[in-house]
Structure 1
Amino acid sequence: MTEIAFHFNVPDKLSYACRLLRKAFRSQAEVGVVGPAALLGELDRALWSFEPLEFLPHASARQAHTALAAHTRLWLAARAAEIPHQAVLVNLGDSVPEGFERFERLIEIVTPDDADRQAGRQRWKHYSDRGYEIQKHEVGA
C-alpha cells in the first residue's frame, strides 16, 4: 500500500519542493511531481536557479523516451500515469492524483493558504476513507 505523507504549513510551495527534490536527488531516489501546468512551469524554472552552484537534472515526463531519460530521476508531469517509474510521487495540485496507488510513496505539500488547506483536508479525507495510513509533518509550525 502506498505510504502517504502530508507536509503542512509549508510557507513557499516551490522552494520547499526544490529542497525536497534536492534531498531526493542526493539520495538517488526517483521522484515524479504532478500539479497544474503553470505551477510545474514555475518549478521547472526554479530547479534551474534555486541554488547558484547546483542544478537538479529533471525533465518533463513527455521526454521519458528520449536520451534525456538516462540523465534524470526527477520527472514533472500533468498526470501520474505519465511518470516512468513507481517510486515517489509529489503532489503540488489541489486534487488527488489519479493513479497515485501505483507509487511506493506519495508526498502532499500544503501551504497555510485557506484554499490550499481546505483542498489538503479533502485529499486527507480521501486517503483516510480508503484505509491509507497518513504521516503528518508540520513544517512551518
Structure 2
Amino acid sequence: MTRIDFYLLTSTNPGLRLDYACRLAHKAWIKGHRVYLNCTDAEQAETLDRLLWRFRADSFLPHGLATDDPTQAVVCGHGEPHAAHNDLLINLADNTAESFSRFNRLAEIVVENDPIRLPARERFRFYRERGYPLQTHQIRTAG
C-alpha cells in the first residue's frame, strides 16, 4: 500500500513548494529512487525543470520533462505518469494522479495558503477514508 507523507511548510509562499520538491527529489534520487514530480500544468513543470538545473551548485540531479523523456530517473510532468515510474510521486497539483496507488510513496507538499491548503485537506481526507498510511511533517521555512 502506498505510504503518503504530507509536508506542511510554515509559509504562505507557494513558490517554496517547488524549492522543497527539489530537495525531496534530490534526496530520493541520491538514495536510488525514481521520482515523478506531478505538476499542475506544463508551465509549472517547465519552471520546476529550470529550478532543478540550478538547485544545488555542488551536485547534479539528472532529470527532464515528461514530454522529452518520461523514463528518466527524475521527471517533471503533469497528468498520468509513465509506467516506468512507480517509486515516489511528488504531487504539486490540486489533485493527484489517478494511478497514485501504484507508487510506493506519495509526497504532498502544502503551504499555508488557502488555494493550496484547502484542496490538500480534501486529498488528506480522501486518503484517510481509504485506509492509506498517512504521515505529516511540519517543516519550518525561512520564507
- Aligned-partner Cα distance in 2 for 1:39–1:96: 15
Deviations 1:98-128 (A, max 9, x none): 1101111101011111221111101101111
Letter in 1 for 2:34: E
Identity of aligned residues (%): 36
CA distance in 1, matches of 2:88, 2:54: 23
How big is each residue's C-alpha offset from its partner over 1:50-108, in whole Å with a ceiling of 9 and x where there is no partner?
Answer: 2223321102223447xxx5xx4101121233252211111011112211011111010
> How many angstroms apart in 1 are the aligned matches of 2:90 and 2:10?
14
Aligned to 2:63: 58
The residue type paired with residue 76 of structure 1 is C
**Residue of structure 2 in register with 1:123 after alignment:** 123
TM-score scaled to structure 2, two decimals?
Answer: 0.86
- C-alpha contact 1:10 1:109 (8 A) present in aligned 2: no
* Aligned pairs, number: 136
TM-score (normalised: structure 1): 0.87
Unaligned runs of 5+ in 1: none
Report which of the two has the higher share of helix.
1
Which aligned runs of 4 or more in structure 1 are off by greater than 6 angstroms? none
How many Å separate the matches in 1 of 2:10 and 2:31?
A: 22
Residues 23-66 of structure 1: per-residue CA shift (max 9 Å, x gap):
1121111111101222211110001112223321102223447x
Name the structure 1 match of 2:92.
Answer: 92
Name the CA shift for 1:10/1:59 in 2 (closer, same or farther; >3 Å).
farther
Tell me the distance in 1 between the aligned counterparts of 2:45 and 2:66.
11
Give the superposed CA RMSD: 1.8
Q: State how 1:4-19 maps to structure 2 within 5 Å.
A: 4-9=4-9, 11=11, 12-19=16-23
